[in-house]
Amino acid sequence: MKRYTVASLGCKVNQAEAAHLAGQMRERGWLAAGDGQAVDLALLFTCSVTGVAARQSRQMARRLRRAHPGARVVVTGCDVQAEPQAYSQAGCEVLGRAALAQGAEALSGSSLDQATALPAPDAGGFCPGAQAPGPERTRGLLKVQDGCNAHCAYCIVPSTRGRSRSLPLDQAAGAFAELGRSGTAEVVLTGIHLGRWGWDFTPRQELAELLRALLAAHPAPRLRLSSLESEELTPEIIELAAAEPRLVPHFHLPLQTGSARLLKQMGRPYGPEDYARTVRVAAAALPGLCLGADVLVGLPGESDQDFEQTRGLLAGLPISYLHVFPYSSRPGTRAADMADHPAPEVSKERAAVLRELGLAKKRAYYQAQVGSSQEVIVEGSGLGRGANYCLVRLAKETPAGNRLRVNITGCEELDGQPLLVGAF
């Protein structure tokens, strides 16, 4: 029996694609290697969203080469698409994104392409991506969209993923139903630009239509959206979330910066007022809604005033938590060539300020849940995850993946982060 191992860095889309490919390999008779077992094939999905992510991807490729000297080490994903020669020169076999739609068949050759240039990432078909719950995940993943047409100044993803394209509605519904039949309690819907699902179809379709179809495809799993641009959280999606409890009350809306000047400079299609309006409308329509935001600090040209506009905007909005990232220059993007990059220590200080703000908001949101009744999915180690994404300590050990109704009796801390206390 041949054995394989798969490593995935970066986004949930990578994770879903890796799981799909691993599943196809098992269907062909391969066995997943356990800890310490020798492998015949090591497969790595790389990330290039930042310079740091690219560096970590290349380090992981070298680590796999050292750990499995007799194995084929195959690398794919976004950083491979950006700079394949960095991996072929390290002795790895390169699998371009255009070949991923072929699945495990693309790995069947004795050696893959070692060329320093790869076909366009969208030259092949749509690469499926689905992951059922397992030892490392209690929630399923379903990829329904790939690529991006936005070309934000700081982002290389349109170059490494290609144009926006969608999984047809009937195929998405079928995959969701299959996850439901497997006992999946929750499916996280994911894509590179999820809100643009269906825009490449003729006639154009909208994400709300897909969500209705998924919820109708199987009665069990609750449905969570991985990330949406604020202008893509439409009234139709908000209305559906208000009417359908299985569309969970949790949206993650990247902001990046609260400076109108920097948003325009980075090519973002909204202003601070637009973002604030969406957040307030959603929060008013969905009491108890959990709203998260991504924020970048240290963008080229970010002044003290720009940063204060970001801090002030977030402080005044009903945001429940923040993901804060210091800007990492990525070669190949417009922002990398822009002037006036803030010093690393300035970015670090600004990130610390926003992380403190985010933690205060998260604690306040958690505290507001005390006294409520919530449905949680058990994640193991005595913890569960609420529909609103809150982490809950359970009164007794329960098998992972179970869905439970608990009463929230208190709020405490775990490793400096808030944690709800749930009683049966």
pLDDT value of position 109: 55
Kindly give the parts of the chain with pLDDT less than 50: 110-111
123-150 pLDDT, tens digit per residue, is 999 999 999 988 767 899 999 999 999 9
Encoding tokens for residue 199? 């825009």
The C-alpha angle 258, 338, 259, rounded to 5 degrees, equals 10
CATH class of 250-368: alpha beta
pLDDT value of position 117: 73
Identify the CATH number of the domain defined by range 3-107: 3.40.50.12160
The C-alpha angle 328, 347, 270, rounded to 5 degrees, equals 70
Strands, E, within 132-256: which ranges? Answer: 140-146, 165-166, 186-191, 222-225, 250-252
**Burial of 31 (C-beta count, 10 Å sphere; 0-12/13-18/19+):** middle
pLDDT value of position 380: 82
Q: Cα separation of 129 and 134, whole Å?
A: 15
Nearest to 57 by CA among 43, 47, 72, 65: 47
Instruction: Kindly report whether the peptide bond that precedes residue 203 is cis, defined as omega within 30 degrees of 0.
Output: yes
pLDDT value of position 110: 43
**φ/ψ (deg, to 5) at 186:** -150, 140
294-333 pLDDT, tens digit per residue, is 999 999 999 999 999 999 999 999 999 999 999 988 989 9
pLDDT value of position 162: 96
How far, CA to CA in Å, does 37 sit from each of 34, 72, 108, 405? 6, 15, 21, 41
Fold annotation for 373-423: OB fold (Dihydrolipoamide Acetyltransferase, E2P) (2.40.50)
Whether the CB-CB separation of 176 and 221 falls below 8 Å is answered with yes
Domains of the chain, by residue range, sit at 3-107, 129-226, 250-368, 373-423
CATH topology match: 3-107 vs 129-226: no
**Burial of 34 (C-beta count, 10 Å sphere; 0-12/13-18/19+):** exposed
DSSP string, 361-378: HHHHHHHHTTT-EEEEEE
CATH class of 129-226: alpha beta
pLDDT value of position 26: 94
